[in-house]
Amino acid sequence: MTTLSAGAVRRRAARLPRGALVGAVVAVWVLLWIPLRGRDTLELSTSELTPLHERVNDLRDAINSSRGSSPVFTAFFDVIRQAVDALTVFLQSLISQPAYGRPVPLIGWLGVVAVATLCAYAVGNLRVAVLTAAGFTSFGLLGYWQQSMDTLALTLAAVLICLLIGIPLGIWAGLSDRLHRVLTPVLDFMQTMPTFVYLAPLTLFFLIGPASGVIATLIYAMPPVIRITAHGIRTVALSSVEAGTSLGATKWQLLRTVRVPLAKRTIVLGVNQTVMCALSMVTIAALIDAPGLGQVVLRALQTLDVGTAFSAGLAIVIMAIVLDRVTTAARDRVETQYRLGPKARGRRRVTLAGLGVGAAVSLYLSYTYVWAAFFPGPDSGGVVGGQVASGVTQASDWVQVHLGAVTDAIRNAISYGLLNPLQSLIAESPWYLVSTVVLALAWIVAGARIVPTVAVCLGLLVATGLWQEAMVTLAATLVATVIVMALGVVVGVWMGRSDRADGLIRPTLDAAQVMPAFVYLVPFLGLFGASRFTAIVAAVVFAAPVAIKLVADGVRGVPATVVEAATASGSSSWQVITKVQLPLARQSLTLAANQGLIYVLSMVVVGGLVGAGALGYLVVAGFSQSDLYGKGLAAGVAVVLLGVLLDRTTQAAARRFGADVGNRG
């Protein structure tokens, strides 16, 4: 305890000037803002274009008109398109679309459920096998069997391609520092560039069809597997590699027998993240006619049919949870399979054989008989889908009618009390003042090395011609992140301290993360109106789960002995939390803030759909209006720049905190 409190004292002493400096910078900012307000804000009205935006439009037109004649298109893009189309159509004809002259796909529902269960058991365990069987059956019960299978086929196609390219690339990037350096900004770009920006051009290159949907999905879903694989290869213990080298292993042998096997667990985590990202693209890919559940959600949105959107969204959530649990179980099995005794291994083999026979019989039945091919139940809504939909619709209507007054008050309190003043300060200050302040703050919290990166980002933001819009978006992003962190700390600490709370809350967090935002936008609009606050709430729903989970893990990671010692010396729960658990979980907290920011930023476009205006709206408008294409692209780039700026700064700050704690610990 004595070392700990001494450390805490010293830390406070070290932090004080930093906090004071930040305060001083903000105070100077406010003082300068009063006389300079409204000057040099680089405002641009919504329909106005800069020469840059016009040049992008021209470039788009040039590509558009030369598409047919250029040999680059016919040779390069068409080959890719045909290959991706062939793979996707093959998967669809297996499980979702009528094919080979049959009125149904080759494998009916019974066969799919049986094979999925078998696969889940083969890579995981009995528990996830049962979950898989139940999950897949629920698609049919909700009345969305075929749409779910279309979604599954598209997701599988995208994930397969991601793994085929991503794992080798990730291994390479794990071995080569140079490739890693080149790849990182490219991956950042792929992950933070709003999909709306490249959705329309994709159909120019790859036509309207399955290929475009799959490629849109894999652009977003590939980065995690590359990053995490590279990370896995990099973090293989040096001692293991040295042991291999000393035994005279060649570079290739070392990779095959030491690095990849030891990184396997991490690589499977990358696969898991890629699957999740692919599923999160379901609704957006539906905007360019990708078949499946996304279509149902979008169509329901046109008539504000919350219930139908929810039950299709529920099917997506179930699919995500099943795939997540199966890949997580697969990751754990990588470790446990070596520890199984011969008896347990034998039992496993028998169960596998049993499931295998069952799957073979089911495959035959579902190929041959109507009852095993079409999921039984009414045509629309399925067995329970109709009830789910009407229940949700009623609940959402009730909430909107009865809670309207309360939610209006909340919106006004946050908007007038926090958002409007902050936005006024950030977006109505001259651009050079904001830039200077941001540079100073970055220097103070993250060190001098971050300053060039921040300066470049700010310069490019000015160059996009959308400075003020970017500042409006930044203000809303900051407010959302504050709320995310507040939730993250409160709920995260609760979950970290109680297993019961954790078990109860975690599935809800998973659902909130994978439920397509389009599903809950309508009820939120009903509650909070078309406003920036609605966008903030949507972003919080998406981003808070990550922050909460990270904080919970951090609190859980505090050694039990330390907590016990504090309790034994008479500290109250409050003291244990504020004096021991939170300070020791500080690195998790900064990581949570970093991830919270990035996740909030990835909802900017969704925010544009519900009244947040600014960059998000411009991206959407660029997707729908051909004249605004260039401006939408610039807005997308501005989102990426904000993302890079915030990510690099918070990461550098986190490293600095980590180093501080490390030096003193």
Partner 1 sequence: MSRVGIGRFVAVLAVGALALTACGSKIENSGSTSPSKAACGTVNIAVNPWVGYQADAAVIAYIATKELGCTVTKKNLTEEVSWQGFGTGAVDVVLENWGHPDLKKTYIDEQKVAVEYGLTGNKGIIGWYVPPWLAQEHPDITDWNNLNKYADKFKTSESGGKGQLLLGDPSFVTNDEALVKNLKLDFKVVYAGSEAALIQAFRTAEQQKQWMIGYFYEPQWFLSEVKLVHVNLPAYTEGCDADPAKVACDYAPYDLDKIVSKKFADSGSPAAALIKNFQWTNEHQNAVALDIAVNKLSDDDAAKKWVEANPDVWQAWIKN
Q: How far is the CB of 568 from partner 1 (least distance, A)?
A: 47
Q: Which is nearer to partner 1, 100 or 338 (CB)?
A: 100
**Pick 209 or 430: Cβ nearer partner 1:** 209
Of 50 and 400, nearer to partner 1 (C-beta) is: 400
Specify the residue, 620 or 654, whose C-beta has the smaller distance to partner 1.
Answer: 620
602 exposure class (CB count in 10 Å sphere: 0-12, 13-18, 19+): buried
Q: Do residues 216 and 88 touch, judged by C-beta distance below 8 A?
A: no
> CB–CB of 96/150 below 8 Å?
yes
Min dist. Cβ of residue 307 to partner 1 (A): 10
Distance in Å, CB of 358 to partner 1, minimum: 6
Nearest CA to 183 among 166, 159, 202? 166
Nearest distance from residue 395's CB to partner 1, in Å? 16
**Minimum distance from residue 332 beta carbon to partner 1 (Å):** 22
For the chain, what's the residue count?
665
Report the nearest approach of partner 1 to the CB of residue 597 (Å): 22
Measured from the CB atom, is 34 or 405 closer to partner 1?
A: 405
Angle at 438 between CA 434 and CA 444, to 5 degrees: 145
Q: Which is nearer to partner 1, 209 or 583 (by Cβ)? A: 209
Taking the least distance from each CB to partner 1, the nearer of 274 and 531 is 531
Specify the DSSP class assigned to residue 503: H
Judged by CB, which is closer to partner 1: 420, or 572? Answer: 420
Closest CA to 632 of 197, 51, 190: 197
Residues in CB range of 146: below 8 A, 6 or more apart: 96
In the complex, what is the shortest distance from the CB of residue 530 to partner 1, in angstroms, rounded to a whole number? 4
Going by C-alpha positions, the residue among 243, 245, 388 that lies closest to residue 318 is 388
The least CB distance from residue 594 to partner 1, in Å, is 28
599 vs 623, which CB is nearer to partner 1? Answer: 623
Cα–Cα distances (Å) from 595 to 436, 547, 592, 659, in that order, read: 25, 7, 5, 19
- Please, what is the end-to-end C-alpha distance for the chain in angstroms? 12
Nearest to 61 by CA among 168, 193, 201: 201
Write down the least CB distance from residue 486 to partner 1, Å: 20
State in angstroms the smallest separation of the CB of 283 from partner 1: 12
Contact 596, 485 (CB under 8 A): yes
Specify whether the CB–CB gap between 233 and 259 falls below 8 A.
yes
For partner 1, the closer of residues 166 and 294 by Cβ is: 294
- Minimum CB distance to partner 1, residue 309 (Å): 10
Q: How far is the CB of 512 from partner 1 (least distance, A)?
A: 20
Per DSSP, 144 falls in state -
C-alpha–C-alpha distance, residues 543 and 508, integer Å: 13
Q: Which two tokens stand for residue 585?
A: 């979980």
Looking at beta carbons only, is 354 or 507 nearer to partner 1?
354
Q: Which is nearer to partner 1, 337 or 412 (CB)?
A: 412
| H or E segment and range at residue 109 | helix 109-123
CB 570: neighbour CB atoms within 10 A? Answer: 7
Least distance (Å) between residue 289 CB and partner 1:
5
Using an 8 Å Cβ cutoff, are 456 and 512 in contact? no
CB 295 within 8 A of CB 147: yes
Residues 85 and 209: their CA atoms lie apart, in Å, by 8
Dmax (CA) of the chain:
80
Please check whether residue 324 is in contact with residue 224, taking contact to mean a CB–CB distance below 8 angstroms: no
What token pair was written down for 70?
A: 């250029």
Which residue has 């501005």 as its token pair?
Answer: 638
| Shorter beta-carbon distance to partner 1: residue 112 or 167 | 112
